[in-house]
């Protein structure tokens, strides 16, 4: 599959729109290939879902979100603010279109087809993090063989065990052990006595998302990339085979920090890059759209008709004593926990709302109520309450590859897996730009499908 061609030889300049995990990783790999790269971000580094997520790097369980069991709770549960998956009732044709597509793909056949597309990415995902580390990203990925999924009752494990078996049947190795409550508490004493059964999953890592994203931004800047925060892309002219793409920008006032609503942590001044002084038009041989839940805004004019719906997740951090040294997952409650410094990040929920809607305190309370019986942490001593928008597609597959414009490439729609797959996405997009051919791993993710 041919992606693009540039008169006079290979592309030399690229504009990347978006400074989350996917955008910054793409910029790093493009710069490593010798291209001139500019990253444009309307807010701050990691301003979407890259800051407040659980930070899991879990290729063994990176799977399509639409699957049959997600619909078994019924419509009544989906419209409850206390439900792990929440769909507020409102008149929204785009949301309805997304939901109909999501339901259509929540079948065993569709899941198996989508899973076969993920497997080649999952095999290479962690190696891409190692390339970033070798290239100057100083924040480590933490290896752990004790990723623990925890349950109140042994029978509750059946759902995840069935999914793991389906993953193996699709051709992806999974190494998992069954543990009882005593074995789980020996590894994570903060688990309460109500946790009686679990699954230990090998082959995973985790990161501290805020620290990792700042380290990645520093490495991108050190490589010679120009990073402009507070710069909004208002229009893209896709160019042609003989004419470069044009990107029209406008400076914005920062509208929050790493989420729609929270200020970013302190960071070195060098990581801020250069803000545009006024409206400007940039020319580039290629433009990469890595804008997460906002991907459709810029990609739709270039033939990308797949709905990208914000699947909003919530998180906060609490003190836990003794602090677990590994991630804990409560699958029934859909709550994910990760050690971050001296506190424990608690994250969860999937909420299909507009990305700019305010944080809903009911969703924070739902996570607290779900977690309190299982984890001996002070859930009332919460800091960094956050909501961020994951970019979810109806078929559960990202949109990565060339659009109808010869110089515009989409790179988004990863759902819950933008952290795990972000660096590899950047590596493959850089290969696409420099070679002019779409790597085989990206063929299932055609943005024009």
Digit-coded pLDDT (tens) for 418-449: 999 999 999 999 999 999 999 999 999 999 99
Domain contains 206:
yes
pLDDT surpasses 70 at 272: no
* Residue 81 pLDDT: 73
Query: What's the pLDDT at 263?
Result: 40
Q: What is the mean pLDDT of residues 207-232?
A: 97
Question: Alpha helices, DSSP H only, in 338-417?
Answer: 361-371
Examine residue 262 and state whether it is found in any structural domain, yes or no.
no
Look at residues 182, 419, 430, 239 and name the one whose alpha carbon lies nearest to residue 315: 419
- Name the pTM for this structure: 0.93
| Residue 438 CB neighbour total at 10 angstroms | 22
Which residue range forms the structural domain that includes residue 372?
13-257+270-442
Q: Is residue 6 part of a domain?
A: no
How many domains in the chain?
Answer: 1
With a cut of 60, say whether residue 4 has pLDDT above it.
no
Position 393 pLDDT exceeds 60: yes
In the block, which residue shows the tokens 């444009």?
40
310-328 confidence digits (pLDDT tens): 999 999 999 999 999 999 9
CATH classification of the domain holding 324? 3.50.50.60
Q: Is residue 448 situated within a structural domain?
A: no
Is 302 among the domain residues?
yes
Q: 426-429: long-range contacts (C-beta < 8 A, 24 or more apart)?
A: 426/22, 426/24, 426/25, 426/26, 426/27, 426/28, 426/29, 426/30, 426/128, 427/25, 427/29, 427/128, 427/131, 428/400, 429/26, 429/29, 429/30, 429/288, 429/400
SS3 9: coil
Percentage of residues in the chain having pLDDT higher than 70: 90
User: How far is the C-alpha of 192 from the C-alpha of 377, rounded, in Å?
Assistant: 10
Q: Tell me whether residue 309 is in a domain.
A: yes
Question: What is the distance between the alpha carbons of residues 226 and 14, in angstroms, rounded to a whole number?
Answer: 11
The pLDDT value given to residue 2: 55
Q: What tokens does 44 get?
A: 């701050």
The whole-number pLDDT of residue 264 equals 47
- In this prediction, residue 90 carries a pLDDT of 78
pLDDT tens column, 95-145: 999 999 999 999 999 999 999 999 999 999 999 999 999 999 999 999 998
Q: Is residue 7 part of a domain?
A: no
Query: pLDDT tens across 138-187, in order?
Result: 999 999 989 999 999 999 999 999 999 999 999 999 999 999 999 999 99
Instruction: Note if the bond before 322 is cis, omega within 30 degrees.
Output: yes
Confirm whether 4 is domain-assigned: no
Whether 368 contacts 317, CB under 8 Å: no
Give the whole-angstrom CA distance, residue 306 versus residue 300: 8
Q: Is the pLDDT confidence value at 192 over 90?
A: yes
Contact 200, 176 (CB under 8 A): yes
């Amino acid at each position: 599959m041919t992606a693009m061609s540039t008169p006079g030889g290979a592309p030399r300049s690229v504009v990347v729109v978006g400074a989350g995990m996917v955008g910054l990783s793409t910029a790093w790999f493009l710069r490593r290939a010798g291209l001139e790269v500019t990253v444009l971000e309307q807010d701050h580094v990691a301003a979407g879902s890259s800051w407040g997520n659980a930070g899991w790097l879990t290729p063994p369980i990176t799977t399509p979100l639409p699957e049959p069991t997600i619909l078994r709770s019924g419509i009544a549960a989906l419209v409850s603010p206390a439900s792990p998956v929440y769909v507020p009732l409102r008149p929204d044709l785009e949301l309805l279109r997304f939901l109909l597509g999501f339901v259509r793909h929540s079948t065993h056949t569709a899941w198996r087809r989508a899973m076969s597309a993920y497997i080649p990415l999952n095999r290479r995902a962690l190696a891409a993090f190692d390339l970033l580390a070798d290239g100057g990203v100083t924040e480590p990925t933490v290896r752990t063989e004790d990723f623990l999924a925890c349950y109140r009752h042994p029978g509750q494990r059946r759902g995840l065990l069935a999914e793991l078996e389906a993953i193996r049947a699709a051709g992806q190795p999974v190494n998992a052990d069954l543990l009882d409550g005593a074995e789980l508490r020996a590894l994570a004493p903060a688990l309460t006595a109500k946790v009686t059964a679990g699954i230990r999953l090998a082959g995973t890592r985790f990161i501290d998302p805020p620290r990792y994203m700042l380290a990645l931004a520093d490495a991108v800047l050190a490589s010679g990339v120009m990073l402009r925060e507070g710069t909004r892309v208002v229009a893209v002219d896709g160019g042609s085979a003989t004419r470069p793409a044009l990107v029209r920008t406008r400076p914005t006032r920062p509208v929050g920090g790493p989420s729609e609503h929270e200020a970013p942590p302190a960071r070195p001044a060098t990581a801020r890059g250069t803000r545009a002084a006024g409206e400007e038009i940039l020319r580039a041989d290629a433009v990469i759209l890595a804008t997460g839940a906002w991907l459709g805004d810029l990609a739709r004019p270039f033939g990308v008709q797949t709905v990208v719906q914000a699947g909003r997740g919530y998180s906060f951090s609490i003190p836990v004593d003794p602090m677990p040294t590994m991630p804990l997952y409560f699958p029934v409650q859909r709550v994910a926990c990760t050690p971050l410094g001296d506190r424990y990040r608690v994250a969860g929920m999937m909420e299909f709302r507009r990305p700019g809607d305010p944080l809903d305190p009911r969703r924070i309370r739902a996570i607290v109520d779900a977690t309190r019986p299982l984890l001996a942490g002070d859930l009332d001593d919460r800091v960094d309450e956050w909501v961020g928008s994951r970019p979810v597609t109806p078929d559960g597959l990202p949109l990565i590859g060339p659009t109808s414009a010869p110089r515009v490439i989409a790179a988004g729609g990863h759902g819950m897996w933008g952290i795990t797959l972000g660096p590899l996405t950047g590596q493959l997009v850089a290969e696409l730009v420099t070679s002019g051919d779409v790597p085989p791993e990206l063929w299932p993710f055609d943005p024009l499908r």
